[in-house]
A and B are shown apart, each in its own frame.
Chain A
Amino acid sequence: MPKIHVTTTINGDATEYLCEPEQTLLDVLRDELNLTGSKEGCSSGDCGACSVMVDGRLVCSCLVMGAEAEGREVETIEGMADGEALHPLQQKFIDHAALQCGVCTPGILVAAKALLEQNDDPTETEVRYWLAGNLCRCTGYDKIIRAVLDTAAEIRGA
């Protein structure tokens, strides 16, 4: 089966790639484009470690085919910081010790950013349900939830 030519935008940059029909967007990001910040924890959409934004919508990139990115805008963890300036969520995660091993962290940050972009004053329960698709086995979630709530408070105050 010939490879598919895809033209897309990733983290603001016009990008072209060839992918096999069976490759997921996650496969393409990691294996073809060397954007390994998105992680494969399950490849079944259950763990959220591969979370990215496609046209402003939060998705598991393991459930999107590489070919489906044609003409779309993809945002990954690699595009979250503005140069050397961390996104407030990234800084709060460090400040709150909201990561241990850190493998779920990229997906959780992408998902949390998507939440705060539509709701800058979430309740603890709202944060917990929003992030229920992002598994973390190390932290017990406590410090993650605090970091997200604190970021929201900072954004509102700014």
Chain B
Amino acid sequence: MPDEVKLNDMDSLNWVGTRPARPDGVDKVTGKARFGADLSLPGMLHGRVLRSPHAHAILKSIDTSKAEALPGVKAVVTRDDFNDMPSEFVPAGEMMVNYRDIVRNVMAREKVLYDGHAVAAVAATSASIARKALKLIEVDYEVLPHVIDVEEAMKPEAPLLHDDLFTVGVEPAPKKPSNIAKVVEFKLGDVEKGFGEADIIVERTFNTAPVHQGYIEPHACVASVNADGLAELWVTTQGHYVVRGHCARMLGMDISKLKVTASEIGGGFGGKTVVYLEPVALALSNKSGAPVKMVMSREEVFRASGPTSGARVYVKVGAKSDGTITAGHCELKYQAGAFQGSPVQPGAMCAFAPYDLENVDVIGYDVVSNRPKVAAYRAPGAPISEFGVECVIDEIAKKIGMDPLDIRMKNAAKEGTQAAYGPKFGPIGMISSLEQAKAHDHYSAPLGENQGRGVASGFWFNIGGETCVTMNVNEDGTVALLTGTPDIGGSRASLSMMAAEELGIDVDKVRPMIADTASLPYTFLTGGSRATFAGTTAIIHASKDAIDKMRARAAQFWDVSIDEVVWENGEARPASTNVGDFDPLSIEDIAKLANSTGGPISGRAEINVQGAGPSIGTHIVDVEVDKETGRVEILRYTVLQDAGKAVHPSYVEGQFQGGAVQGIGWALNEEYIYDDNGRLENAGFLDYRIPVASDVPMIDTVIVEVPNPVHPYGVRGVGETPIVPPMAAINAAIEQATGIRFTELPMSPPKVLKALDEAAASGGDD
């Protein structure tokens, strides 16, 4: 951990904490903003992917000759156009990916492993010719038995996806392959002793469904490879440097030969941290010699891009009758999809993280099955494990007659708490979020018939990582701010505000831009709630660099030493009256002097940012359950979350609101539905129902600010935590409204109605 820094005086801020218009706002309300599918190049071809209709099959042969003969078809690629790669794990967002698996996920090799798995791709002069060509590709499949459910996949007799997959993390190492890729465990204290001290123990098993990130913009890219091997890629992604690395590796290119430009990105939520179309488009462009655009359909997005895991979650919690939790145990079984790498590890680490517990044991299993490979989704893994834990804590509170906020308060993690996953926490916002929840008028508002209120808390680590910034001082003293993290939710606003704050200039004088991969050194992706935290940290460094250079120019101009020049309110000034009687020099003045004092001026930072502060939030939700239809209506919703310091409060609120509503969808409607053949039955927005405007109320927000001690303004990441609490909060609210404790997500109308009917039949409250 980096050292704590002196916190800035928060009362004298000009920009941080205000709500200026975002710099990309006009582009986005006028339709000018260019997203992944919005670029066209001269001579561009249209690429399409042929996908497996089978959940599990051997790819015996692929005959593309008829497709290649179709007029207008310029290139066809299959597994034969990609080199195999050895097993090697590399970080992608908060998850790890394996090149052996990426190359197989991008284009199936020995087998297809899920419905929608890419088998071949064509590039043609029109989209319609490309579609016709796909129908001419002849694939000989030998269909194999498949497995979808996570516990079925764990059985010894289950169909095996990979005959070289041996479980890691168990002793002795297994001699037979299985679908269990990995077992992880995080322990603290002695859970058996803890359960022995408990007055009450509750244990429950929960099922959660895989849910998709549901970004409205499908994956899209345009690739152009020249005969000399120089290549450009335009792509909607959370991390164009990460895409560059993956593509260069897969295609055997020098990284310097591939320039990647991030388009505007139409939502990602973790799902745009990996590659799908990009290496294929590059391969098609290489083969055809022409630029190739590829865009997924919505059906392809659902069938072939990563949802997050569905899981089986067993939770056992023991507590004393005063609410003190004495032990917590979890067993997490997460679907990874067709290749290993579910978010079970972060899920296991987060499970009990909001609490200060002595005895914890969390075991996690990473399990492959015949589903699309999961990708990161907003706090990957945490919503699943914390859902189970929060539901059980709510049940304990109810059983011992304690307020659900009070039991959380009694056990809340605080500064100095030893987390089961390793670190001791610095200052964190669990207690503050609970206190503000308790004091909020929402918590004491009256409820009507068939209505219930639930609360839950949530934790996410947040990350820093490689972050580069260049701040070019233009000839007129305005500033071009180059950053390398694609802006998904308004981060250009907060980053330019931080530059304006540090330099002491108007935010309107700062023009933020997302640099392409050739224009800034490697910058890690937008993920892990890092863009604003890490970006502002780098900007503070780059501003200091620029200011030092401008002080030096002023010193040179005044013929004094640099120590005799200070920077105040956007101006270089003599440090004292002893230095001399000089008029202050503004950035504009210094920019005009730049050439006569040595040349152009920029500020730079190229750092690996450390010290991200975890963010904790508490949600309050009121629901009404329609006993005729089983529909759960969200009546009122309040998010209270620690932001450390909100740079642009509107976009912090936006993260809270958007995350909460994604969680509402996870809780109430969203799921992947497979038929008996392992084919996804609801690969569209009509049947995979994300919340629409009429499904939700206003989402009230309270920004809690417990400063992160390693950031000069106290900033923490905020984007991911808001999706963690909703499922358990809604579960508790439904329990209060109906007396029924659901253990399966989504709590969709058919399931709720069935449970209500069963309760009525068994002499329930109706």
User: Could you tell me which A residues sit within 8 Å of B by CB distance?
Assistant: 20, 22, 27, 30-31, 34-44, 46-47, 49, 76-78, 80-81, 86, 90-91, 93-97, 99-106, 109, 124-125, 127-129, 131-146
The reply to whether B650 and A103 form a contact with Cβ atoms under 8 Å apart is no
Stretch at the interface among B74-82, B686-694, B727-735: B686-694
List the B side residues contacting A141 at CB < 8 Å: 657, 661, 691, 693, 696
The reply to whether B298 and A103 form a contact with Cβ atoms under 8 Å apart is no
* B26, CB-defined interface residue at 8 Å: yes
In the complex formed, the residue of A with least CB distance to B220 is A40
Q: Which of B28, B37, B127, B657 contacts A140 (CB 8 A)?
A: B657
Chain B 481-535 residues near chain A, CB threshold 8 A: 488-490
The reply to whether A99 and B216 form a contact with Cβ atoms under 8 Å apart is no
Minimum CB–CB distance from B291 to chain A (whole Å) comes to 14
Q: Whole-angstrom distance between the alpha carbons of A33 and B40 in the complex?
A: 11
List the B side residues contacting A103 at CB < 8 Å: 35, 215-217, 264, 266-267
In the complex formed, the residue of A with least CB distance to B700 is A142
Question: What 0/1 readout, one digit per residue, does chain B (212-254) give for beta carbons within 8 Å of chain A?
Answer: 0111111000000000000000000000000000000000000
Known: A22-B128, A100-B654, A101-B488. A137 touches B690 (CB 8 A): yes
The reply to whether A39 and B21 form a contact with Cβ atoms under 8 Å apart is no
The reply to whether B654 and A46 form a contact with Cβ atoms under 8 Å apart is no
Q: Is the interface of B mostly helix, strand, loop or mixed?
A: loop
* B177, CB-defined interface residue at 8 Å: no
In the complex formed, the residue of A with least CB distance to B486 is A101
Q: Whole-angstrom distance between the alpha carbons of A94 and B684 in the complex?
A: 30
Q: Whole-angstrom distance between the alpha carbons of A40 and B301 in the complex?
A: 13
Known: A99-B28, A145-B698. A139 touches B216 (CB 8 A): no
* B297, CB-defined interface residue at 8 Å: yes
Q: Which of A27, A90, A124 contacts B29 (CB 8 A)?
A: A90
The reply to whether B654 and A42 form a contact with Cβ atoms under 8 Å apart is no
List the B side residues contacting A38 at CB < 8 Å: 31
Q: Whole-angstrom distance between the alpha carbons of A80 and B35 in the complex?
A: 19
What are 14 A-B residue pairs whose CB atoms fall within 8 Å in the complex?
A: A22-B128, A41-B298, A43-B298, A96-B650, A97-B654, A99-B29, A101-B489, A106-B29, A135-B216, A135-B690, A137-B269, A138-B654, A140-B661, A140-B662
Q: Which of A49, A80, A125, A146 contacts B216 (CB 8 A)?
A: A49
Q: Whole-angstrom distance between the alpha carbons of A124 and B696 in the complex?
A: 11
List the A side residues contacting B128 at CB < 8 Å: 20, 22
In the complex formed, the residue of A with least CB distance to B214 is A137
Q: Which of B25, B33, B216 contacts A47 (CB 8 A)?
A: B216
The reply to whether A132 and B216 form a contact with Cβ atoms under 8 Å apart is no
Known: A41-B216, A101-B265. A127 touches B693 (CB 8 A): yes
Known: A95-B21, A132-B692, A139-B658. A102 touches B264 (CB 8 A): yes
* B38, CB-defined interface residue at 8 Å: yes
Minimum CB–CB distance from B631 to chain A (whole Å) comes to 15
The reply to whether B654 and A80 form a contact with Cβ atoms under 8 Å apart is no
The reply to whether B686 and A46 form a contact with Cβ atoms under 8 Å apart is yes
Task: Output the residue of B30, B265, B653 with the most chain A CB within 10 A.
Answer: B30
The reply to whether B30 and A37 form a contact with Cβ atoms under 8 Å apart is yes
Q: Whole-angstrom distance between the alpha carbons of A93 and B28 in the complex?
A: 10
The reply to whether A97 and B19 form a contact with Cβ atoms under 8 Å apart is yes
Size bracket, chain B contacts: 35 or more
* B32, CB-defined interface residue at 8 Å: yes
The reply to whether B693 and A102 form a contact with Cβ atoms under 8 Å apart is no
Minimum CB–CB distance from B687 to chain A (whole Å) comes to 9
In the complex formed, the residue of A with least CB distance to B692 is A132
The reply to whether B28 and A42 form a contact with Cβ atoms under 8 Å apart is no
The reply to whether A135 and B685 form a contact with Cβ atoms under 8 Å apart is yes
3 smallest A-B Cβ distances: which pairs? A37-B31, A103-B266, A102-B28
Task: Output the residue of A95, A134, A141 with the most chain B CB within 10 A.
Answer: A141
The reply to whether A93 and B29 form a contact with Cβ atoms under 8 Å apart is yes
The reply to whether A137 and B25 form a contact with Cβ atoms under 8 Å apart is no
List the A side residues contacting B28 at CB < 8 Å: 99, 102, 105
Q: Whole-angstrom distance between the alpha carbons of A57 and B660 in the complex?
A: 33
Q: Which of A27, A93, A125, A137 contacts B215 (CB 8 A)?
A: A137
The reply to whether B298 and A97 form a contact with Cβ atoms under 8 Å apart is no
Chain B 665-710 residues near chain A, CB threshold 8 A: 684-686, 690-696, 698-699
Known: A46-B685, A140-B696. A37 touches B489 (CB 8 A): no
In the complex formed, the residue of B with least CB distance to A107 is B216
The reply to whether B215 and A97 form a contact with Cβ atoms under 8 Å apart is no
The reply to whether B34 and A86 form a contact with Cβ atoms under 8 Å apart is no
Knowing that A41-B217, A86-B30, A140-B657 touch, tell me 7 more A-B residue pairs with CB under 8 angstroms: A36-B31, A77-B31, A93-B25, A97-B490, A101-B488, A102-B33, A141-B693
* B195, CB-defined interface residue at 8 Å: no
List the B side residues contacting A139 at CB < 8 Å: 654, 657-658, 661
The reply to whether A131 and B693 form a contact with Cβ atoms under 8 Å apart is yes
The reply to whether A34 and B29 form a contact with Cβ atoms under 8 Å apart is no
Q: Whole-angstrom distance between the alpha carbons of A100 and B266 in the complex?
A: 9
Q: Whole-angstrom distance between the alpha carbons of A27 and B131 in the complex?
A: 15
Q: Whole-angstrom distance between the alpha carbons of A95 and B25 in the complex?
A: 9
* B651, CB-defined interface residue at 8 Å: yes
List the B side residues contacting A36 at CB < 8 Å: 31, 34-35, 37-38
Minimum CB–CB distance from B554 to chain A (whole Å) comes to 37
The reply to whether A40 and B30 form a contact with Cβ atoms under 8 Å apart is no
Q: Whole-angstrom distance between the alpha carbons of A46 and B264 in the complex?
A: 22
* B22, CB-defined interface residue at 8 Å: yes
Chain B 247-300 residues near chain A, CB threshold 8 A: 264-269, 295, 297-298
Minimum CB–CB distance from A44 to chain B (whole Å) comes to 6
The reply to whether B217 and A142 form a contact with Cβ atoms under 8 Å apart is no
The reply to whether B298 and A44 form a contact with Cβ atoms under 8 Å apart is yes
List the B side residues contacting A78 at CB < 8 Å: 30-31
* B626, CB-defined interface residue at 8 Å: no
Minimum CB–CB distance from B299 to chain A (whole Å) comes to 9
Q: Whole-angstrom distance between the alpha carbons of A49 and B685 in the complex?
A: 12
* B564, CB-defined interface residue at 8 Å: no
Known: A44-B298, A103-B216. A94 touches B26 (CB 8 A): yes
* B24, CB-defined interface residue at 8 Å: yes
The reply to whether A44 and B658 form a contact with Cβ atoms under 8 Å apart is no
Minimum CB–CB distance from B27 to chain A (whole Å) comes to 8
The reply to whether B693 and A128 form a contact with Cβ atoms under 8 Å apart is yes
Known: A39-B216, A135-B216. A102 touches B651 (CB 8 A): no
List the B side residues contacting A143 at CB < 8 Å: 650, 653-654, 657
List the B side residues contacting A131 at CB < 8 Å: 692-694
Minimum CB–CB distance from A36 to chain B (whole Å) comes to 4
In the complex formed, the residue of A with least CB distance to B265 is A101
In the complex formed, the residue of A with least CB distance to B37 is A40
Minimum CB–CB distance from A61 to chain B (whole Å) comes to 13
Chain B 16-61 residues near chain A, CB threshold 8 A: 19, 21-22, 24-35, 37-38, 40
Q: Whole-angstrom distance between the alpha carbons of A81 and B27 in the complex?
A: 11
Known: A40-B37, A42-B685. A133 touches B216 (CB 8 A): no
Task: Output the residue of A40, A43, A78, A137 with the most chain B CB within 10 A.
Answer: A137
List the B side residues contacting A44 at CB < 8 Å: 298, 684-686
Minimum CB–CB distance from A103 to chain B (whole Å) comes to 3
The reply to whether B694 and A128 form a contact with Cβ atoms under 8 Å apart is yes
List the B side residues contacting A86 at CB < 8 Å: 26, 29-30
The reply to whether B216 and A137 form a contact with Cβ atoms under 8 Å apart is yes
Q: Whole-angstrom distance between the alpha carbons of A86 and B29 in the complex?
A: 9
The reply to whether B31 and A41 form a contact with Cβ atoms under 8 Å apart is no
Q: Whole-angstrom distance between the alpha carbons of A128 and B650 in the complex?
A: 21
List the B side residues contacting A105 at CB < 8 Å: 28-29
Q: Whole-angstrom distance between the alpha carbons of A41 and B215 in the complex?
A: 9
List the A side residues contacting B661 at CB < 8 Å: 139-141
List the A side residues contacting B651 at CB < 8 Å: 97, 100
Minimum CB–CB distance from B293 to chain A (whole Å) comes to 10
List the A side residues contacting B693 at CB < 8 Å: 127-129, 131-132, 134, 136, 141, 144-145
List the A side residues contacting B215 at CB < 8 Å: 101, 103, 137
The reply to whether B267 and A138 form a contact with Cβ atoms under 8 Å apart is yes
Question: What 0/1 readout, one digit per residue, does chain B (432-461) give for beta carbons within 8 Å of chain A?
Answer: 000000000000000000000000000000
